Amino acid sequence: MKRVIVGLSGGVDSSVAAYLLQQQGYEVIGLFMKNWHDTSVTISDDCPWLEDSNDAMLVAEKLGIPFQVVDLSEQYKERIVDYMFREYEMGRTPNPDVLCNREIKFDVFMKIALDLGADYVATGHYCRKSSEEIEGKTIFKLLAGIDENKDQSYFLCQLSQDQLAKALFPIGELTKPEVREIAAKLDLITAEKKDSQGLCFIGKVRLPEFLQQQLKPKEGLIIQIPSSFEKYHQPLPKFVDEIAEFTYKATKTKYQPSDGKVVGKHQGAHFFTIGQRKGLNVGGTIEPLFIIAIDVKENIIYVGEGVNHPGLLNNVLFVSNQDEHWIRIDLALKEGENLQVKARIRYRQTLNKATLYKVSEGLFVEFDQLQSAITEGQFVAWYIDDELVGSGVIS
């Protein structure tokens, strides 16, 4: 009998995942990952991980499977929290959920599971896995979940073939309502439980307060750039080749304070992210203001009015070699090659047609349509049909 260790998070998805694996004849063990101790930054007094681990334990009891808690808070702090602070300090916006899957669930946690004699690790992600023999080798594929509203393949965009080989996603064929229905039939305590928000596994954390613990507030200016800013309306220069054109388009516009007018003050540029609208506390404009650029060195935030402000929109981005990742290694591009794909630059974004162009330093992604708020540090993921084949950090 094959042994599967399920990451029981105390939510409905992993609960039903454990049940389905039982039904499929696996020997199932539930493990709860404790990734956070510091209660000083959680929103409410209740201790979320305690409540969650308790729910996970009750689910395991109900299903009659062994259960234990593993403490990964040290690795989580090193690999996720410290990385987040570094990224924010540099004015980039990290995606801790993608990292948490790559570094914690499918690395640290997976190693523990395999040491416990597991054949597989399972999670409650809404995605699917399949495999195909290609040139005598088994190649694993990561497919979108059936439930389009809940597809979570994006969060797994950094997994490797080795990690996928050992992963199972039992609920990928189901929709969220179907999952809740199964949980209700089984009378599981998690059946009606709300989906968790906040950082992967830290519980209900307010991000600005979390960041403020490490990054000191310092007052700076908010400067509004008008849509009439001359750089937006310059004709494109003549390019020697495609690469020169992509490089030009992927390069962020550099703003000077003299390019706009001061409309307010903020408490630290590193607390903000491109495309952000809330938390600026600047009024008096017809349309809302959006952050179009962040200068951490000078501690200035640049904003533009309206969702169609030219400073927000672009259709080319760059991923450097070190940040380029292919789940389907067999499809990785060689220099000079290109590939038609569909891509997204954030979770839940509709997939958009795009072309990948491989150059010596990395990879350009050119979207057919303008994208709003392409953000450094976030992940771009590319798909062929419903298969996620690769991803990279936007540079």
Query: Of 47, 100, 127, 157, which residue is the catalytic one?
Result: 100
205 has pLDDT over 70: no
Active site residue 127: no
Alpha-helical runs (H) found in 149-228: 161-165, 176-185, 207-212
User: 137-196, pLDDT tens digit by residue?
Assistant: 999 999 999 999 999 999 999 999 999 999 999 999 999 999 999 999 999 989 988 876
Helix (H, G, I), strand (E, B) or coil at 364: strand
The amino acid occupying position 188 is: L
User: 232-290, pLDDT tens digit by residue?
Assistant: 999 999 999 999 999 999 999 999 999 999 999 999 998 889 999 988 989 889 999 99
pLDDT for the residue 40 = 54
Kind and range of the H or E run holding 161: helix 161-165
Q: Where are the beta strands (DSSP E) in 337-377?
A: 338-344, 352-359, 362-372
Backbone φ and ψ of 260, nearest 5°: -145, -160
Alpha-helical runs (H) found in 9-153: 12-23, 48-63, 73-76, 82-89, 96-99, 109-115
CA–CA distances in Å: residue 59 to residues 35, 94, 193, 202, 225: 20, 33, 12, 20, 54
Q: Which two tokens stand for residue 52?
A: 């969650």
Active site residue 47: no
CATH architecture of 313-393: Beta Barrel (2.40)
202 has pLDDT over 60: no
Taking the domains of the chain in order of start, what are their residue ranges?
A: 3-212, 220-312, 313-393
Would you place residue 82 in the very low, low, confident or very high pLDDT band (cuts 50, 70, 90)? confident
Q: Which two tokens stand for residue 48?
A: 């979320």
pLDDT for the residue 41 = 52
88, HSE (Cβ side, Cα atoms, 13 Å): 24
Of 158, 153, 155, nearest to 143 by C-alpha is 153
- pTM for the whole structure: 0.91
Query: What spatial distance separates the first Cα and last Cα of the chain, rounded to whole Å?
Result: 46
Query: Of 47, 127, 157, 200, which residue is the catalytic one?
Result: 200
Kind and range of the H or E run holding 179: helix 176-185
Choices 3.40.50.300, 3.30.2130.30, 3.40.50.620, 3.90.1170.50: CATH for 3-212: 3.40.50.620
63 has pLDDT over 90: yes
Q: pLDDT exceeding 90 applies to what percent of the chain?
A: 75
The answer to whether 300 touches 223, Cβ cutoff 8 Å, is: yes
Q: Which of 37-46, 48-57, 65-74, 349-358 has the lowest mean pLDDT?
A: 37-46
Mean of per-residue pLDDT scores for the chain:
91
The amino acid occupying position 206 is: R
